[in-house]
Amino acid sequence: MNRISRTCITLITLLAFTLPARAQYLASEQIKFTRQDSLRGSITPERAWWDLTYYHLDIAVRPSDSTIYGSNTVTYRVIRSSSIMQIDLQPPLEIIKAEQNGKSLDFSREGNVYWISMPEKQEPGKIYSVVLKYGGKPKVSRRPPWEGGITWKRDKNNLPFVASSCQGDGASLWWPCKDHMYDEPDSMLISVNVPLNLMDVSNGRLRSVVKQKNNTTTYNWFVANPINNYGVNINIADYAHFSEVFNGEKGRLDCDYYVLKENIDKAKIQFKQAPMMLSAFEYWFGPYPFYEDGYKLVEAPYLGMEHQSSVTYGNGYKNGYLGVDQSGSGWGDKFDFIIIHESGHEWFANSITYEDVADMWVHESFINYSENLYVEYFYGKDAGTEYALGTRRSIRNDRPVTGIYNLNKVLFSYMM
């Protein structure tokens, strides 16, 4: 049986188990939705008339007062002429100024949405840019990565250890953007200014490091591939760095690792699983999708997340899930769940991305399946089957996997 056929059978089986629960769940639960859910969850007329081509996110992150200030330049191609643009930015952050061609634009706020008035004629087929200056104290995540926001912690040397995570809650938690998964920029520049003794690691490749006169440093990261909003991240700490080259299906893939300095010895052992993951998943799924941007594992002050080409890691340098084999089969102890699971999302979530949050299950189901394939690749078919049967015991079948379309609402917590 070929790889595609196995995947199709798995998904069909999953649907067979979950679809009957959908009607029961929706009939028994009173779910309340707001206009804000619709504005962020649907392709509104104020979004539909323009197509993203490029972002330049240029920000200063200040751990001393937990603020972010800066700008996002939104470059877009006009599909059809219109005069109002929807930009998303969640409180307590605020847009301070909007400009096009050096001229200030009027705007108004409705909850998480800014309505930007465009006095200049927006001609179909032409490319324009809007500069959005913004700032404030972004929402602090109380339970990252399941609740979005910025995590502000300290390492053992009392130096700042800062990271973003926003799947489900939206990238507009910390930067102004078109916060819907149906549209992605073709490329992106991420410029992050941090205190001189810290480093920022974001998506893509590091283009330059610029020391400023005010005892800060700006890190400029360029993403050469389309990138989804929640895949964009910042990771700020006193990092140690090491690297290697993986000889893969498309040639030489740069693999870079950024960890807290006290953990570098453990990381050099645990992260040997990264090229193992690449070998297995390139066999099953084809080439790693982002050779141009490289692959990174970055230590973060939370469990982990599939940020594109900048996968975050916080599993304590242990196999299993925080040291536990969730399958109960014994095979889950053979690999680091976060390295394998979150990196697998580079194929399903980052390369192939759902159009509507209602289909987040597609990302997670493929990657749950990929864990079985990883075990099978290294330990054999019987081992993969035992792992799959073990994880199946945790399925409760008490609610639908598919959400409600055109609403920004996740009906239950997914494994990130």
Return the CATH number at 81: 2.60.40.1730
Full residue range of the structural domain in which residue 377 is found: 1-30+238-416
Q: What is the rounded CA–CA span in Å between residue 97 and residue 107? A: 9
Q: What is the rounded CA–CA span in Å between residue 177 and residue 167? A: 14
Task: For 231-245, write each residue's pLDDT tens digit.
Answer: 999 999 999 999 999
Answer yes or no: do 270 and 406 share one domain.
Answer: yes
Answer yes or no: do 98 and 162 share one domain.
Answer: yes
Domain closes at, from 218, 236, 254: 236
Q: What is the rounded CA–CA span in Å between residue 278 and residue 246? A: 8
77-103: average pLDDT: 97
Share of the chain above pLDDT 70, in %: 91
Answer yes or no: do 199 and 66 share one domain.
Answer: yes
Answer yes or no: do 105 and 186 share one domain.
Answer: yes
Q: What is the rounded CA–CA span in Å between residue 398 and residue 368? A: 18
Q: Is the pLDDT of residue 413 over 90?
A: no
Answer yes or no: do 82 and 214 share one domain.
Answer: yes
CB atoms within 10 A of CB 222: 19
CA distances from 340 to 14, 167, 317 (A): 21, 18, 13
Q: What is the rounded CA–CA span in Å between residue 285 and residue 218? A: 36
The reply to whether 332 falls in a domain is: yes
Four-residue CA torsion sign, 227, 230, 235, 241:
negative
Side-chain-side CA neighbours of residue 136 (13 Å): 18
Domain closes at, from 236, 267, 298: 236
| Residue among 130, 60, 135, 57 nearest 91 (CA) | 135
63-86: average pLDDT: 98
The reply to whether 37 falls in a domain is: no
Q: What is the rounded CA–CA span in Å between residue 293 and residue 221? A: 10
**pLDDT band of 394, cuts 50, 70, 90:** confident
**Furthest-apart CA pair in the chain: how many Å?**
65
Return the CATH number at 332: 1.10.390.10
Answer yes or no: do 248 and 218 share one domain.
Answer: no
Residue indicated by tokens 């999953």: 14
3-state secondary structure of 262: helix
Q: What is the rounded CA–CA span in Å between residue 40 and residue 86? A: 10
- Give the CA radius of gyration of the chain: 22
Task: For 22-61, write each residue's pLDDT tens digit.
Answer: 333 443 356 788 999 899 899 999 999 999 999 999 999 9
Domain closes at, from 209, 236, 263: 236
